[in-house]
Structure 1
């Protein structure tokens, strides 16, 4: 019997997924959680073979939780289930050592099949998503540049960013100019748009 932990914050979706999976003769949902920070404690308590994790969870995002599972409970393999099919999201999931990545609108039998494959340590990633992820360039920005652009995307001005990161305003402006250049953007707003659409922020 394949033991499954399911992490999904939408109650109706979670209930439907549990019902679908429990119809399978070889799959049993042994734990359900609604937030990302509940995943690791629940996994330690019930020792699932597979964790099905929604990528957008309150408390802690699904990819961060998947990374923790990989590091602390490596025998529990993770299948990310999401409505977000952006290439950058797929790359982040692959970097987090997840075993599977499926869209929520996948057919029910595809989900059950994916759970079986992931439990055996096989990779299951939607072929179109995988292709788009491999074709997408890695983020060209440094962690510091991403941090500054993320703050700019939240509406912080140069002075606020400088104060928060203990930098001079001139240094922050230089970072933002470099970001605009690296992304071939027209301006700061365009750089934020490009980075957001690639899921680098």
Structure 2
């Protein structure tokens, strides 16, 4: 019995390359490919997928939320994050969301196939250098609301615009931004948002 795989990546070239590489393995079969995370959980159920390989940065639903949706679906499918973004904060959030593994896209094909088999067998697979970095970097200090406000600030929105979008008062938004700036040890909200994003906290 081959291991049935789903690939979700918004870059068609990357998705195609991964599919071609994995198809060379006699025990692996790609049964579904998606360009965003929105339909991942439904497709997993429809195609009886064993392991879903998910990119993090996708439109609709990102890979971490797609992994959460798969875990909530109760199909027994396991998730393996395969991403360009080897950020410690992402690793921690992915594992908390129910992902079974986390590897970066420059992982050699043979190692990726082994990671798929290992995850399918019930093991947890994590890129070793990233695991060490995550231990050193510590936990995400931002509250859910601070993350929400920083995400809204990334596009250059004013305090008033952020307040309207999130249904908060401008004063509350300023307090959250101030707190996030302090926790990220930055000078302003733009730097705070960039730092938080680079650490995978958003």
Same fold by TM-score, threshold 0.5 exceeded? Answer: yes
Deviation, 1:74, is 4.6
Q: Counterpart in 2 of 1:68?
A: 69
Q: Counterpart in 1 of 2:28?
A: 27
Q: Counterpart in 1 of 2:109?
A: 108
Deviation, 1:59, is 2.0
Q: Counterpart in 1 of 2:58?
A: 57
Q: Counterpart in 2 of 1:99?
A: 100
Q: CA RMSD in A?
A: 1.7
Per the alignment, do residues 133 and 24 of structure 1 end up closer, same or farther by CA in structure 2, a change over 3 Å counting? same
The superposition leaves residues 30-55 of structure 1 with CA deviations (integer Å, 9 ceiling, x where unpaired) of: 22222211211211111111111111
SS of the equivalent of 2:10 reads coil
Task: State the aligned residue count.
Answer: 201
CA distance in 2, matches of 1:26, 1:128: 28
CA distance in 1, matches of 2:120, 2:45: 17
Between 22-31 and 115-124, report the one with greater CA deviation. 22-31
Conserved in 1, the CA contact under 8 Å of 2:68 and 2:98?
Answer: yes
Which 5+ residue runs of structure 1 have no aligned equivalent?
Answer: none
Deviation, 1:83, is 0.8
Between 35-44 and 107-116, report the one with greater CA deviation. 35-44
CA distance in 1, matches of 2:145, 2:116: 37
State TM-score, norm by structure 2.
0.91
State TM-score, norm by structure 1.
0.91
Per the alignment, do residues 170 and 32 of structure 1 end up closer, same or farther by CA in structure 2, a change over 3 Å counting? closer
Which 5+ residue runs of structure 2 have no aligned equivalent?
Answer: none
Runs of at least 4 residues off by over 6 Å: none
SS of the equivalent of 2:106 reads coil
